Amino acid sequence: MELRIRPASQADLSAIHALLALAALPCDDLATSHIEFLVAATGQQIVGVVGVQVMPPAGLLRSLAVAPNVRGTGLGKRLIYALEQHAALRGVTQLTLLTETAAPFFSHLGYAVIERGHVADAIAATSEFRSLCPASATCMHKHFVLD
Pairwise CA distance, residues 54 & 58, whole Å: 7
66 binds ligand COA per the rule CB under 6 A = yes
Q: What track of x and - describes contact with ligand COA for positions 128 through 147 (by CB under 6 A)? A: --------------------
* Binders in 83-102 for ligand COA, by CB under 6 A: 97, 99, 101-102
Give every CB contact of residue 23 below 8 A, 6+ residues apart in sequence: 65
# residues contacting ligand COA (CB under 6 A)? 19
Span interacting with ligand COA, options 32-40, 52-60, 64-72, 120-128, rule CB under 6 A: 64-72
Question: Residue 47: what residue type?
Answer: V
For ligand COA, the binding residue among 4, 6, 34, 108 (CB under 6 A) is 108
For ligand COA, the binding residue among 72, 136, 146, 147 (CB under 6 A) is 72
Three-state SS for 147? coil
Give every CB contact of residue 14 below 8 A, 6+ residues apart in sequence: none
Pairwise CA distance, residues 2 & 129, whole Å: 36
How many CB atoms sit inside 10 A of residue 47's CB?
20
Find the residue with minimal CB distance to ligand COA. 76
Three-state SS for 35? coil
- Residue 19 CB, shortest distance to ligand COA, in Å, is 8
Residues of this chain that interact with ligand COA (CB under 6 A) are 23, 25, 64-66, 71-77, 97, 99, 101-102, 104-105, 108
